[in-house]
Amino acid sequence: MILKYDKPEKTRIDSYLSEVLEDMSRSHIQKKIREGAITVFGKPVKSGFLLSQGDEIALPEEEEPEPMEAEPEDIPLDIVYEDQDVIVINKPKGMVVHPAAGHATGTLVNALLYHCGSSLSGINGILRPGIVHRIDKDTTGLLMVCKNDAAHTALSEQLAVHSITRRYLALVRGNIRQEEGTVDLPIARSDKDRKKMAVASPGKGRRAVTHFRVLEHFRDAALLECRLETGRTHQIRVHMAHIGHPLFGDPVYGIKKDPYIGEGQFLHAAVLGFRHPSTGEYMEFTAPLPEYFSRMLEKLRNN
């Protein structure tokens, strides 16, 4: 994959790649740079190399797949679309996307391994086969998964240039005065709690941009449509909490003693659109709100 750096200001290559390659950690990028797998105009560089406008960065097309270790599990999937390259899933509340500490089983990956067998891309390794992007455990909605490495590379390139359509429905607290707006604030791991993300001070963190518009006002609440320009960990939750409108039911960034914690995190990936990795055709999918979310909206409308 070739990326062309088009910004007028100079930027460290590891910082730039960690911004545009949303599913790759900065440490992993630095490892690839050290190995010489990432080059500028065909020459290896160091992590601190300063990119200039017009520089062409070559990234490895694919990484050697590691042997699968996550176990297949017969878990029902809500499949919105499937072909030989991609599968689009409507993920339910409470399902973790891939195995991690404390969640070795019952994940979307376990279900996908049962459904797809070995037909999943191996680029992201043994615990994240096919996974191009993630949504939180208690966020519901649409997720795209790749069945081969070529599809994975193509969709990763679309993520890198922010051409994937991702629109979420979010139920937030408070009366929002503006009908639409943009939160453009960097996000990094919190200094106070390493399990949380937070808006970072200027010059730190990774750029994060969330566009929002109000779909419906309630008494001291609002239903928003949030469009992601970037896809940082917990981005919508962190941004909305930072501007004083945390999500209903959010146990990490929400209000203290939120009575709806446990009912669900009121964030739903409602629309997902991308160009098909083989045909180039633009495809867009929608997923209806889960029942608990719809019930809450009816309750607010009747108040």
Residues designated catalytic: 136
Spatial contact of 90 and 141, defined as CB atoms under 8 Å apart: yes
Write the single-letter amino acid at 108: L
Number of neighbouring beta carbons within 10 Å of residue 302:
6
Q: What angle do CA 6, 10, 12 make, to 5 degrees?
A: 105
Number of neighbouring beta carbons within 10 Å of residue 207:
16
Secondary structure element (H or E) that encloses residue 282, with its range: strand 282-286
Nearest to 265 by CA among 172, 185, 203: 172
Spatial contact of 39 and 57, defined as CB atoms under 8 Å apart: yes
**Number of helical H runs and strand E runs in the chain:** 6, 17
E strands, 64-196, in order: 79-82, 86-91, 140-146, 165-173, 180-184, 187-189
